[in-house]
A and B are shown apart, each in its own frame.
Chain A
Amino acid sequence: MTSTVDAGTTTPEPEIGKARSRKEDEHLLTGRTKWTDNLVLPGMVHLAILRSPLAHARITNIDVTEARKMPGVIAVYTGADLAEEQGSLPCAWQITPDMKAPPAPALAVDTVNFAGEAVAVVAARSAYEAHDALEGIDVDYDELPVVLDLAAAAREGSDLVHPDLGTNVSATWIFDSAEAGTGGNVEDAIRDAEVVVERTFRQQRLIPAFMEPRSTVVDPTGPQITMWSATQVPHVLKLMLAMSLGIPEHKLRVIAPDVGGGFGGKLQVTPEEVVTLLVARRLGKPAKYTETRSESMAAAHHGRDQIQKLTLAARRDGTVTGLKVELLADMGAYLRLVTSGVPILGAFMFNGIYKFGAYHFSCTNVFTNKVPTDAYRGAGRPEATFAIERIMDELAAELSMDPLELREKNWIRHEEFPFATIAGLTYDSGNYEAATARAKELFDYDALRREQAERRERNDPVQLGIGVSTFTEMCGLAPSRVLGSLAYGAGGWEHASIRMLPTGKVEVVTGASAHGQGHETAFSQIVADRLGIPFEDIEVLHGDTQTAPRGLDTYGSRSLAVGGIAIVAAAEKVVAKARPIAAHLLECAEEDLEFTGGRFQVAGTQKAVALTDVALAVFAAHNLPDGIEPNLDSEATYDPDNFSYPHGTHLCAVEVDTETGWVRIRKYVCVDDIGHVVNPLIVDGQVHGGLAQGIAQALYEEAVHDETGTLLSGSFAEYLLPSSADLPEFTTDRTETPATGNPLGVKGVGEAGTIASTPAVVNSVLDAVRHLGVRDIEMPCTPMRVWHAIESAQGGAR
């Protein structure tokens, strides 16, 4: 069916760039949600997990007889019961050929290696009865020495977490610019430097603390084993379950329904998922496990946890010449999915936005008797950005230079892009000048500096500090070849398929796996523009390996920069398939056709046919050109050439009450450049949320253990997430320097706010009190730490 263009028809305004409110919202706002814990299946059993109270011990006996007798209990299993089936939880990143990794059972068999490790599982008719039955399990432990201190654990002669490994060191990974051929020798640079700044920073251990506790339901009763899980990686999970449990991959289906936040914390193959599957399979009944928050704090993987020693070499005029980074990274007791690789991801970003002549990075991954660390928003890059942005401020202070001036002296200039960095990456585009100028303007930088000076002059008990963070990051994970060169177990492509339905509606299937990011909305906007289909007529499907069989899920700010590009590529294929059919229907040559606004139009005439009409014609297949398949549906798999390099300038002003150490953020301004913007609402939301987490690392959060290895910050009463009352209003703005590597010109944004903000805040706190003699304050900058720092610096003379 062809149609002519109606007289009043105009090309609709572009969807990309529109502040569209989200398709996802309706069901979330009205409580018609699909959290994993909502699921109820016939005959379903509820699981509860018994966890070790000790951080390091041998299990000498487990007696489950009482538990088995308790009301509602159907079965109780220990690690010994599941030992053969459970295999070892996978680590997908063997960063060095000689990397040491202990076996990682889902249920501990002989030894427990962190407090909270799963030891036994109860299956009962209700969750309440399952929890009760935990008290009927009696475990005898022989305590072993507990290894908690990261620096001590790395030293010869330390007690060992895994005696069989003979060491607590899992691996040491090195990058050297001289060896890599990207620059000179860092020891030379340090030796020849006019100024050398040496600092040791601590990246405290954090807890991702997504609001939805993890939950898994497994139904073993169908032709496939179906697992619903609050995961951000259904595809990875399916593959890893198949490989580590020996389940035929085609017999497994994994579904991520609504997922309440992840932040990297749900990027995992968890003991709980494995246990739920094995129990369900054994019992032949559906099984559900939902963790309590206390369990989540102790047993879901943690983030960060590094000791960073930096040596910065520079000239007296502020030009930086070399950077040496020596890291100790706390793995925890096991290597989970990407535990080993997180610090390595940061290896390429310690040089930041600056031009260095020499760079050396070494990281030693160390085991301790704590829950494993793994990805958490930024995964390695916040650690790197914190270190470089902190030490640049230290250099500025040492040289009595304005910190922004120092950065400008060293950053890559706009006209120098694309730029090959000392760490071996090529940043495609950026404009640090523009972002910084705008940020300074919004911040009223000069006025705040004047106020700071005035307050210092009169020794005001409330001092003002200004912190700078000019960051870039590498996201849009990731070019598969780069991942391969780093010995990561998988690639970094993403897949999309587009189905053109006969009635003109479109189904988009993506391998990305949203857990709050608004993919359905943003991807609909992209497809609406590319195919000229109304936004409302597009349905985005994701999260179910049966519906979206191919994908690599969501993390590393990749869903738009990689997933979105796969969608663009698939859309182009749809148009390419439709073109000859349109030409046939319009009885013209393909070359005479223009495709705009969803219509193929014969150039210079009013003859046109809508893509949706082509779709219907294809369905009927009554009148197609010879040899053409009656199908417009197309798919594409996109493997990026490069990472994505968003950047930004963040400025933070804090008031420090020197009498109490209290820190209040007076003003927070950020100007971020994420290339072209698909949906500004979603982008702002990601920035706000990222800032909140980065600020929280600077001021509030820390996973604290006592000397026995028990997690003291085991609930939201002790692990302090900021509420609305604790955060300021943020001033956000953007510059737009398109990415050069993809047709949308987009860069990732999901982690940027977190990466940038932590050093901005800590720098501002130090800036407020440096004149009092304070050299450093460890994160989080609690009031007590700030006060003590001032007291010590002043010699207690106050």
Chain B
Amino acid sequence: MRITVTVDGTSYTDDVEPRLLLVHYLRDRLGKVGTVVGCDTSNCGACTVHLNGRSVKSCSVLAVQADGAEVTTVEGLATDGALHPVQQAFHDNHALQCGYCTPGMIMSTLDLLSENPDPDDRQVRLGLEGNLCRCTGYQNIVAAAQDAARRLREADATAGGAR
């Protein structure tokens, strides 16, 4: 089946098997290895990307279902070599160790903050319940999310509300 998907701003057209998982399309066909597979029961969230602006687990979406859609992966966040505020917050707060869960964690954090720009500790923790991490114990991830929230609100304020 022929599909056309825009990924991180670039449009790709490919012939794919219907059963090809979106995460495998990204990794194996497009070479976007930033998005990874961590499980086979859609629990771990390591494969999280944005599909038409909302976080989804790309292991549980078929590439054919993404035909005509816009996908953002972790590789589409940094602009002109500068880290996105969420990425920067993760770095500054030591919110990653091995880094395997990190792209998914970042994409989920972004989604959370787009819906709730000022989450408290509990809201962050619930907002990230779909992303498992085995290294960090989550504490620094929660701190990073709230730090990122603050940076995004400040950037928003500076930009006069236009983002």
Contacts and interface: CB of A to CB of B under 8 A. Distances in A.
A458 interface: no
B90 A725 contact: no
A128 B18 CA distance: 12
Secondary structure call for the B interface: loop
A660 interface: no
B1 to A, nearest CB: 15
Contacts of A682: 94
A716 B44 contact: yes
Given A28-B96, A35-B33, A689-B137, A292 B40 contact: yes
Interface stretch (B50-58, B63-71, B126-134, B155-163): B126-134
Contacts of A727: 125, 137-138
A24 interface: yes
A716 B17 contact: no
B136 interface: yes
Contacts of A211: 38, 44, 46, 98, 100-101, 132-135
A258 interface: yes
Interface string B36-52: 11111101101000000
B89 to A, nearest CB: 10
A31 B101 CA distance: 11
A21 B94 contact: yes
Contacts of B124: 724
Contacts of B98: 210-212, 258-261, 515-516
Nearest to B74: A31
Contacts of A24: 99
Nearest to A753: B137
A30 B74 contact: yes
B141 interface: yes
Interface in A734-761: 753
A688 interface: yes
Contact of B33 (A38, A515, A690): A38
Contacts of A294: 40
B92 A21 contact: yes
| Most chain A CB within a 10 A radius of its CB, from B39, B46, B101, B133 | B39
A408 interface: no
A723 B137 CA distance: 9
A595 to B, nearest CB: 32
B99 A717 contact: no
A465 to B, nearest CB: 21
A730 B135 contact: no
Contacts of A688: 136-140
Contacts of B77: 30
User: Interface extent on B, as a size class?
Assistant: 35 or more
Given A30-B78, A211-B134, A260 B100 contact: yes
B73 A31 contact: yes
Residue among A32, A516, A687 facing the most chain B CB atoms (10 A cut-off) = A516
A414 to B, nearest CB: 29
B91 interface: yes
A209 interface: yes
Contacts of B94: 21-22, 681-682, 684-685
A715 interface: yes
A293 interface: yes
B44 A685 contact: no
Contact of A213 (B19, B37, B92, B139): B37
Contacts of B151: none
Contact of A25 (B73, B96, B129): B96
A21 B96 CA distance: 10
Nearest to A730: B139
A724 B102 contact: no
Contacts of B136: 685, 688-689, 692
A358 B100 CA distance: 46
A517 B20 CA distance: 35
A762 to B, nearest CB: 18
Size band of the A side of the interface? 35 or more
Interface in A253-300: 258-261, 263, 292-294
A31 B34 contact: yes
B121 interface: yes
B14 interface: no
A692 B136 CA distance: 8
A140 interface: no
Contacts of A25: 90-91, 96, 99
A730 B138 CA distance: 10
B20 to A, nearest CB: 8
A532 interface: no
Contacts of A693: 134
B13 interface: no
Interface in A455-482: none
A516 B97 contact: yes
Contacts of B46: 211
Interface string A507-521: 000000001111000
B128 A689 contact: no
A681 B124 CA distance: 21
A37 B74 CA distance: 18
Contact of A128 (B19, B92, B142): B19
B129 A293 contact: no
A515 B99 CA distance: 9
Contacts of B83: 26, 29-30
Interface in A706-725: 715-717, 721, 723-725
B32 interface: yes
A682 B44 CA distance: 24
B100 A212 contact: yes
A681 B96 CA distance: 11
Contacts of B121: 729
A21 B91 contact: yes
Interface string A230-263: 0000000000000000000000000000111101
A623 interface: no
B97 A689 contact: yes
A688 B95 CA distance: 11
Interface in A53-67: none
A691 interface: yes
Contacts of B44: 211, 293, 716
Nearest to B45: A723
A158 interface: no
B31 to A, nearest CB: 8
Of A685, A692, A715, the most chain B CB neighbours within 10 A belong to A685
B97 A518 contact: yes
A687 B94 CA distance: 13
A28 B83 CA distance: 12
B129 A689 contact: no
A689 B33 contact: no
A730 B75 CA distance: 32
A547 interface: no
Contacts of A38: 27, 33
A33 interface: yes
A293 B90 contact: no
A716 B57 CA distance: 15
Which residue, B101, B106, B125, has most C-beta atoms of chain A within 10 A? B125
Contacts of A717: 41, 43
Contacts of A31: 32-35, 73-75, 103
B138 to A, nearest CB: 4
Given A690-B137, A721-B134, 4 more contacts: A29-B99, A30-B34, A37-B37, A721-B132
Which 7 A-B pairs give the minimum distances between C-beta atoms? A31-B34, A28-B99, A260-B100, A516-B98, A688-B137, A516-B97, A716-B43
22 contacts: A21-B91, A25-B99, A26-B83, A26-B91, A29-B96, A30-B77, A37-B27, A211-B132, A211-B135, A258-B98, A261-B98, A261-B135, A263-B134, A682-B94, A685-B135, A685-B140, A692-B138, A724-B125, A724-B128, A724-B131, A725-B125, A730-B137
